[in-house]
Amino acid sequence: MTRVRCERRRFRRADVEAPVTLQVIAPAGGEPVTLTGQAKNVSLAGLLCYVKAPCLLTPGQPVTSSLSVSEEQVRLFPFARLLGRGWVTRVEPIAVGKRAGEPSSNDESLVSVTIAFTPDLTALGMLESS
């Protein structure tokens, strides 16, 4: 018997290597904390990124995110920049491996972070040069 996998995602996901900035939304009177990392895949619903450990993020924590996609990668994901609020859904250490695309044992420790975007996400397209 063949099982058919049902895709439940609302938006198409694209594998994208792009810098991402996450800013923790601080409680009243608190200082915001900014983290930088590398996006691995993104959709209009959320993103998966790697940040350096130790990571101060915890599931449920509100964040703002900024992601800039290179011109070459816009064909995979039709936006050049994403800006918006969201919340952390998962924080996990990354297993160090030898396969292509995985961090090597020489890399600093990394943490995988997933962010779910709120509906007010701003997606900006590439501007045509004249």
Which residue, among 64, 61, 50, has the nearest Cα to 109 in the 3D structure? 50
Which residue, among 29, 30, 24, 128, has the nearest Cα to 86 in the 3D structure? 24
User: What does 83-107 look like in DSSP terms, one character per residue?
Assistant: EEEEEEEEEEEPPP-SSTTSPPTTS
Share above pLDDT 70 across residues of the chain, in percent, rounded to a whole number:
75
Cβ neighbours for 8, distance < 8 A, ≥ 6 positions apart: none
Share above pLDDT 90 across residues of the chain, in percent, rounded to a whole number:
35
Domain ranges of the chain: 14-124
The reported pTM is 0.75
Fold of 14-124: Thrombin, subunit H (2.40.10)
pLDDT tens figures, 48-80: 999 998 888 999 999 999 998 887 777 766 778
